Structure 1
Amino acid sequence: MIQPDLMNVKIAVDFDGTIVEHEYPAIGKVKLFAFETLKALQKRGASLILWTFRTGKELEEAVEFCRKNGIEFYAVNKNYPEEVFDEETVSRKINADIYIDDKNLGGFPGWSKVWEILVPDEIERMNRVFEKRSRKRLLAGLFGRKTTHMLLPFLLLTSLIGMPFVSVGCKGRRASGNNIEKIAVKKEAAPARPKKKITFLRPKEVLTFQTGHPVEFELIVGDSSTVPDSVVILVDDSRLASWHHYHIKGIWETKNATVGVHSLRAVVYFKGKKPRHKSIHITLTSDFIPKEYTYQVVKAYSHDRNAYTQGLVYEDGYMYEGTGLRGFSSLRKWDLKTGKIIESLNLSPDLFGEGICILGNLIYQLTWTSRIGFIYDKGSFTLKSKIRYNTQGWGLTTDGKNLIMSDGSHNLYFIEPKYFTILKKIEVFDDRGPVDQLNELEYIDHTIYANVYQTDDIVQIDPSCGKVLARIHLRGILPRREYRSDTDVMNGIAWDPVGKRIFITGKKWPKLFEVKFIPLH
């Protein structure tokens, strides 16, 4: 079963016979629900690749046809946008997680079935929506029971992409959106039914708390005449408690919870009925006030002031550095004592290099918006393989086992290094709220240090829960006399685990500094 969150999922889609009827080289009639489904998949984070027999003019026509219908693909007949096909090194088989093609064994099932397979949770949700008897009776009267069931995926898709659902009732009266139940299928009024609405009474107005603060919740399911079989309360996907009553009161102890946004969800069970769901979202900020530090410069080293520093790693007397800007991005190794470049590799001019890290004998390097990264042999800088991700690439470090990546938000992603699979995500908060624009990263003594973009600050983060432990202020470390017109912000943290030294620099800075962090009193 495909997870509801399709982030980082690559879906290869055929054109003729799949998106449109097969009338190659002409473009056939659009398949029912094709573009509605593709838009909804993109909305959930999927990367769509057009994978078709078409080439040349016919391919351009297909791409433009899809663009006019609201779909722009992540790549076209390529694994990723920048790929240059070389039959000696690149397989013609697309590297995707899912393939949608009319040549499947058993044929193309239709876009409604595709959606039902890929996003089963939404079909269940729509089933719950249409449990209301008046709507089910309406649709059954209009279309028949079997057709009504087939329409559920379509109704979901139209709600996701903002299309109004319009139909005409038995007497020709037009209904749209939520007014559809007003169409009279039968003259007699439906019998009154007990209400089973789920209402959260608390928390209601204040939905932000500090970790450690108990969150009291209270909800009502219908009334005393509609006592449910059970009510289960979940925090995210973890069961908190259950009750056998229509009026629920409880407490969520948040002492050991991570910071960030959490879902508090009630699942209500009635005998012989599908469960009902109701959620509210609660934000937890840190209960820890970050310690404040300033700095002391221990030693200054030469740094290439033309290097737009995006990633920095120290190992065995050498600095490994990833640089950015299109046309100037590189990976380089240089001697800390002399500043001499020992090894250098330029990226393609259309790529904007970002963070790097070393794990074992491999160097990992991100790019900014191209959603592609590279794995090199550390000794020779030979390209070993490529990695792909579905967000922006900013900073990169490692805890010795997994990779840790930032994307310019307040999120950090823990990633399995072989296939670049996201294992978990943490949100970074201090006592005031989320800390955004996390940039270059370094893992030091079981904590994460991160440059905060466009500031002279570094934050220290607890990787287990996302709380900010400390904030280091480095304003003025590069003297103003060293600035020139293209000198940019501080970015770059490196750690010498043997000598216990911390190094910092910036984009197009002429100096790299060894520093100590001093508590502010």
Structure 2
Amino acid sequence: MKKNIIIGFAAVLSLISCNKDKEIINSLSDYNNSMESKGYHFGDKLQLPKDVTENAESISISFGEKETSDLTIDPKFFTFGDNEVTFNIKTKGGETLNQDATINVFTKNPEQNISYEIVKEYPHDPNNFVEGFLIEGNTVYESDGLSKASQLIKYTLGTTTPIITEKQPADIFSEGCAIVGDKIYQLTYQNKIGFVYDKNTLKKISEFPLPNEFGEGWGLTYDGKNLIADDGSNNLYFLDVNDPSKVVKTVPVGGYKDIYNQINELEYHNGFIYANVWHKPIILKINPVTGETVGKFDFTKITEENTKNDSENVLNGIAFKGDNMLLTGKKWSKIYEIVVK
């Protein structure tokens, strides 16, 4: 009889412990879900529910092989955007509980809305599916995409007739491009390779495999030291210009309320990176050191004029003519020159 009482008591304790563990996990899950859209900023302290903290002997957060017991949003562990983590809780009852979560990190300061004025319009060939867009002097270099239609072209601003056209194989889908000295570097979408061309003749010099760190090539620019690529996420990949298959560093981009996934065409100008976001009528101004989005252009009106017949004809071309910005898009009939106010 006594033995049965002891067994019964142990079973009750086990049930209580199990229920308490469920309460901890459910409470932590509810907290994480409530914070996922609200997000955090660097320096914020995670204010976990009392159900969790009062019943935990220790709490840590792991990021794959990294782990910390400091519940502060520290840039040593977190980056802008989605951070996939696991909470590890050792309870006072001796159990170890794990809870997966997504912690979103945003910038502390809102992006400045940058005002502008359209000062000039130029013709653009509406057959060109623009992926990369550059200008030197009055000469435009353009990478056009789509399978069986990809090409690299060179023409004078104000005309639509190419000076030189370099057609690419039918299986190639061209993407962003950048000028480095007398060469043009170009990415491909899903072909896993990039090309290097002679800037004057547009003849191919060489090709290189895309880095393993990203699977798709989207935008490309050059900051005077490194090539900078993106892959449709919120990451900027700094590449060794002498070996573009090598990633020197990765800088995630963050906004005040948005993660800005699907960053696309890129342009470096006066210490900042300008980037459009696929299928959005905006261009971001990004600090390349921190990844913080410090400004934003709203080109809704211009974009609506050019996408009314096809929603895929999105804004996707950024270049600078002096300090004035040139912008165009996929199959747009115009290039717009704007002055920043």
TM, length-normalised to structure 2: 0.73
Indicate the residue corresponding to 2:266 in structure 1: 441
Q: Which amino acid aligns with 2:104?
A: T
In the alignment, the residues of structure 2 paired with residue 473 and residue 388 of structure 1 have an alpha-carbon distance, to the nearest angstrom, of: 35
Aligned to 2:218: 394
Contact 1:233 1:264 in 2 (8 A): yes
Q: Give the corresponding residue for 1:212.
A: 43
Query: Is 2:72 aligned against 1:252?
Result: yes
Q: AA paired with 2:40?
A: F
Deviations 1:314-368 (A, max 9, x none): 1122111000111211001111144442221001012111111111221111111
Q: 1:236 to 1:425 in 2, by over 3 A?
A: farther
CA distance in 1, matches of 2:126, 2:302: 15
For the residues of structure 2 that align with 1:399 and 1:383, how far apart are their CA atoms?
22
In 1: Cα distance, 2:308 partner to 2:103 partner: 45
Name the CA distance, whole Å, in 1 between partners of 2:259 and 2:300.
22
- Listed as ranges, the matches of 1:272-291 within 5 Å are 282-291=103-112
- Residues 145 and 173 of structure 2 are in contact (CA less than 8 Å); yes or no, is this contact kept in structure 1? yes
Distance (whole Å) between structure 1 residues aligned to residue 280 and residue 87 of structure 2: 42
The correspondence of residues 456-471 of structure 1 with structure 2, limited to 5 A, is 456-471=281-296
The answer on whether the counterparts of 2:85 and 2:102 sit within 8 Å (CA) in structure 1 is yes
Can you give the 5+ residue segments of structure 2 that lack an aligned partner in the other structure? 1-23, 89-97
Aligned counterpart in structure 2 of residue 476 of structure 1, from 297, 301, 311: 301
Conserved in 1, the CA contact under 8 Å of 2:119 and 2:338? yes
Overall identity of the aligned pairs, in %: 32
Q: Distance in 2 between matches of 1:416 and 1:260?
A: 25
* Distance of 2:307 and 2:81 partners within structure 1: 40
How many residues of Structure 1 are paired with residues of Structure 2 in the alignment? Answer: 295
1:135-154 correspondence to structure 2 within 5 Å:
none
| 1:501 CA displacement | 1.9
Residue equivalent to 2:135: 314
Whichever residue aligns with residue 292 of structure 1, its letter is N
User: Deviations for 1:469-494, whole angstroms, at most 9, x for unmatched residues?
Assistant: 22211122268499766981111000
CA distance, structure 2, for counterparts of residue 261 and residue 238 of structure 1: 16
| Offset, 1:296 | 1.3
Change (3 A) 1:418 1:278: farther
Q: Secondary structure at the match of 1:379?
A: coil
- TM-fit CA distance, 1:432: 2.0
CA distance in structure 2 between the aligned counterparts of 1:444 and 1:202, rounded to whole angstroms = 47
The answer to whether the 8 Å contact 2:281/2:303 transfers is: no
Query: 1:379 corresponds to which residue?
Result: 200
Deviations 1:213-252 (A, max 9, x none): 234689899979xxxxxx9988888897xxxxxxx7x553
Instruction: Return the structure number with greater relative CO, CA threshold 8 A, min gap 6.
Output: 2
SS of equivalent to 1:476: helix
Matches within 5 A, 1:110-149: none
Match of 1:370 in 2: 191
Deviation at 1:453, TM superposition (A): 1.1
**Counterpart of 1:512?**
335
Amino acid at match of 2:151: S
Distance (whole Å) between structure 2 residues aligned to residue 486 and residue 259 of structure 1: 29
Which of the pair is proportionally richer in strand? 2
The root-mean-square deviation of aligned C-alpha atoms, in Å, is: 3.7
Mapped to 1, the partners of 2:236 and 2:144 lie a distance apart of 21
- Counterpart of 1:320 in 2: which secondary structure? strand
**Change over 3 Å in CA distance of 1:515–1:237 after alignment to 2:** farther
Alignment map for 1:194-205 (pairs within 5 Å): 205=31
Q: Is the 8 A contact 2:279 2:312 kept in 1?
A: no
